[in-house]
Amino acid sequence: MGGVNMIDWDRVRELQDEIGQDEFAEVVTMFLDEADEVLARISPAGGAALLRDDCHFLKGAALNLGFASFADLCQNAERHANEGDCAIDLIEMRKCYHASREALIMGLSDLAA
């Protein structure tokens, strides 16, 4: 299964067990749509407070869905923004998110097989 270090597969299975497969699919779709939207608009130009809020949202959703590496990046960026530092690496965040997204999709296909 790809992305072993990027994805907390125990968390993914736990969430699937907690809410059921149909609800899980809906949660995944909703998270990916919302994360895509936030990552498309996130920018230091919006100021530290908005950046902090966006990173906080992404971190929480990522932790819930098992995006371990991405959640760590978001937590670090949130901490910096909370201190007024808007110089975060958005390119790295986006790369990690997209790699995590791909790893989850591929991994879910492997789990279903």
**29-41 pLDDT, tens per residue?**
999 999 999 999 9
Tell me the CA distances in angstroms from 13 to 1, 62, 65, 74, 102, one per residue in order: 14, 14, 10, 22, 17
CB-count burial class (<10 Å; 0-12, 13-18, 19+) for 76: middle
- The Cα 22–Cα 73 span in angstroms is 29
Computed over every residue of the chain, the mean pLDDT equals 90
pLDDT computed for residue 2 by the predictor? 42
Is residue 104 predicted with pLDDT exceeding 90?
yes
The 10s digit of each residue's pLDDT in 51-93 is 999 999 999 999 989 999 999 999 999 999 999 999 899 999 9
Distance of CA 100 to the CA centre of its chain: 8
Tell me the CA distances in angstroms from 8 to 25, 33, 64, 112, one per residue in order: 17, 20, 10, 17
Q: Report percent pLDDT > 90 for the chain.
A: 81
- Asked if 61 contacts 34 with a C-beta cutoff of 8 angstroms, the reply is yes
Is residue 3 predicted with pLDDT exceeding 70?
no
- Asked if 15 contacts 66 with a C-beta cutoff of 8 angstroms, the reply is yes
